[in-house]
Structure 1
Amino acid sequence: MMSSRPSTEEYIPYYEQYIGLVGEGSVTELLASQLASTTELLSDIPEAQADCRYAEGKWTLKEVIGHISDTERVMSYRLLRAARGDKTPLAGFDQDEFMTAASFQNWSLSQIIEDYIAVRKSTLSLLRGLSEEAWLRLGIANGGDVSARALAYIIAGHELHHLRIVHEKYLAR
C-alpha cells in the first residue's frame, strides 16, 4: 500500500491542481474513506436538488457526480496500463464531450450513487493488488509520463476538487 506522495517527475504540471489537494497518508485509505463519506453525503440529497444547476450552463449535481465517476474510470484505466508496464501513449479526453454524450439527467440520484460506489470499489480492488514496484511504474497519458501512484492521487484529488464545489455551490444554497 503506497503512502508516499508522487514526485513532480511522475506527472505533468496540470495534475498538481488535484495532487496538491491530497494530504499525507495512504492514498488507498483516503480513497476508501472518500467512498464512505461521499456516499453518505450524496444519500442525504433530495432528488429534486440533484437535478439543479447553480448557474446557467453549469452541470447539475447528478452530472458532477457522474463526471467524478467517468474521470475515475479513465484514470483507473490509465493506472492499470501504467502499473502493468504498458508504455503505449494514451490520449487525453474531453470532459465536455463526455458530458454531452452522457445521460445523467435520465438517471436517478440513487443510480448515480450506485455507479460511483461500483467504480470506487473497482479502483480500490486494483490498488490493493499492486506491488510496490507497480505503484512506481510510468505510463504515458495526455502527452506526458504519469505513474500509477500519481494517478491514484489524481483520482483522490479530483474528487476533493469537485466536492469542494459541491459544498460551496450546490449544498450551501
Structure 2
Amino acid sequence: MPDTTEYHAFYQGYIEQMKGYSIPERLSIQGFLLEELLKALKEDQLDQPMAPGKWTLNQVLGHILDTEKIMHYRILAICRDPGVALTGFDQDAYVERGRFRGVETFQSNMNGILLNRNLLRFFLDGLDEDQTLLKGTIDGHPISVRALYFIICGHMQHHLYLLERYLSD
C-alpha cells in the first residue's frame, strides 16, 4: 500500500478501497466484473441519466476509460521522467465533450476498458519495485507510480459499487 506521502488526500478513498487486494489481480478482473455487471442492460438504459443531474451509464463508462487512460499516461510520464509536473483534468468537462451515446459507444468503451487493463497489467509487470516508488506531481501534489495503480483500481471499485447499487434498485 502506498503511504500518504505518495498521493494527495483527494485520492485517499480510492486507495483505501484496495486494502487487502492484489493490484495485478484487480487489474485483471475488474474489467470482467464490470462487463458481467452490465451484461443484462437493455439498450434504452445506456443513455438515460442514472438520476436527475447524474451521468448516463454510457457517460460513466466513458469517464472510467478516460480516467484510466490519463492515469496510465501519468504512470508512463513519471517512469520516463521522474519528478515530472503534470496537470489535473476536469472530469465533468471530459464527460460533456465525450459524446458518450449509443450501443456502439457502450461496446467500444467496454472493449477499451478491457484493452487498457491489459496494457496497464503489461506495463506494471515490466516495472521493478524501485520504479513503482518513482514520483512526479499532479497540480503541485506528489504522486507515485504505485499510488496511481492503487488509484486506478480504487476508482474502478468505486464505480463498480455505485453501478451495482444503481442496477439493483
TM-score of the two chains, using structure 1 as the length reference = 0.90
User: Of the candidates 72, 79, 84, which is equivalent to residue 80 of structure 2?
Assistant: 84
1:85–1:137 Cα contact (<8 Å) kept = no
C-alpha displacement at 1:122, in angstroms?
1.6
Give yes or no for the alignment of 1:158 onto 2:159. Answer: no
Give yes or no for the alignment of 1:29 onto 2:34. Answer: no
Give yes or no for the alignment of 1:126 onto 2:118. Answer: no
Letter of the 2:39 counterpart = S
User: Of the candidates 96, 101, 107, which is equivalent to residue 97 of structure 2?
Assistant: 101
C-alpha displacement at 1:106, in angstroms?
4.2
Q: RMSD of the TM alignment (CA)?
A: 1.5
- How far apart, CA to CA, are the structure 1 residues paired with 2:87 and 2:43? 35
What are the Cα deviations for residues 85-130 of structure 1, in whole angstroms up to 9, with x where unaligned? Answer: 4322100000011011101114522222112112212211111111
User: Of the candidates 45, 50, 53, which is equivalent to residue 57 of structure 1?
Assistant: 53
What are the Cα deviations for residues 122-148 of structure 1, in whole angstroms up to 9, with x where unaligned? Answer: 211111111111111111113211110
Percent pairwise identity: 37
- How far apart, CA to CA, are the structure 2 residues paired with 1:23 and 1:39? 23
1:31–1:124 Cα contact (<8 Å) kept = yes
2:133–2:144 Cα contact (<8 Å) kept = yes
Letter of the 2:117 counterpart = R
User: Of the candidates 21, 35, 40, which is equivalent to residue 39 of structure 1?
Assistant: 35
Deviates more, 1:65-74 or 1:115-124: 115-124
2:67 counterpart SS class: helix
1:92–1:141 Cα contact (<8 Å) kept = yes
C-alpha displacement at 1:39, in angstroms?
2.1
C-alpha displacement at 1:57, in angstroms?
1.7
Letter of the 1:130 counterpart = L
How many residue pairs get aligned? The number is 168
